[in-house]
Amino acid sequence: MNKFSPKTVNALKFYVYGLKYPDDNQNYFYIGKGKGNRVFSHISQKLPRGLSDPKFNIINSLKKYGGPKVDIIRHGLSEHEALLIEATLIDTFGVDQISNKVKGIDSNKFGIMDIKLVDEIYKGKEFKEDISAVCFKINKAWHKNIGEEMLYNKIRGNWYLNIRRAEKATYGIGVYEGVIKGIYKICNWEKDETRKNKRFRFNGYKDEKMQKFKGYSLLNHPAHKVRGPLFYYNCY
């Protein structure tokens, strides 16, 4: 089968589908959402030379067995409903277990997460501690499954900053959409000699007494509203 009938297409609306190995009734290696005959496009997909796609590689290897098994998991959906279900299934099965390159819509905000992380996101208390800090906006770097070492490295730099002002800071703070995700005690700053621009990173450690402030908000702090990748907190 390589396409739906017109009546079927009209009835399906948007749908969520899964691809399985022919001899596996349990596990999906790919979850997608589509409309019309989208689900069949994978079978005839041709990959441009030089590109790699895990999903394509699996499907191509299954052609001699008749191709993957295809399930329509939910149908009769709006596009937004299909996107949410797709994201939920990808999150549930785990992106490392299937060949989806990325997680679904809003997975980083609303997907599966530890209860402590949920509380960090929504408790909404304002950070008002009497400390000095450089606050780094890590909106593009942070994700809910980020490890401690990667989080530290994303926060510490390299950053283009005013080193004289930064040296007045006791802490380096990473914020994601205004919410504190990591706090480190700064030991010293070092210049990145490999770059022409003056970029710096700090060396530090996780100060345990400050970890209770993870999840607190700096969104309403006047300096946060200033454009740029970082701002200074009490560094006068």
Question: What CA dihedral angle connects 195, 152, 236 and 178, to 10 degrees?
Answer: 110
Domain with CATH 3.40.1440.10 in the chain: 6-110
Q: Is the pTM of this model over 0.75?
A: no
Quote the percentage of the chain above a pLDDT of 90: 42
Comparing 16 with 2, which gets the higher pLDDT?
A: 16
Q: Looking at the predicted structure, is the pLDDT value of residue 211 above 90?
A: yes
Task: Name the range with the highest mean pLDDT among 31-45, 89-103, 135-149.
Answer: 135-149
Quote the percentage of the chain above a pLDDT of 70: 83
pLDDT digits (tens, 9 = 90+) for 11-48: 999 999 988 888 877 778 888 899 999 888 876 666 66
What CATH number was assigned to the domain covering residues 6-110?
3.40.1440.10
Task: Name the range with the highest mean pLDDT among 88-102, 114-128, 169-183, 186-200.
Answer: 169-183
CA-to-CA separations, 65 to 21, 49, 59, in angstroms, rounded: 9, 24, 10
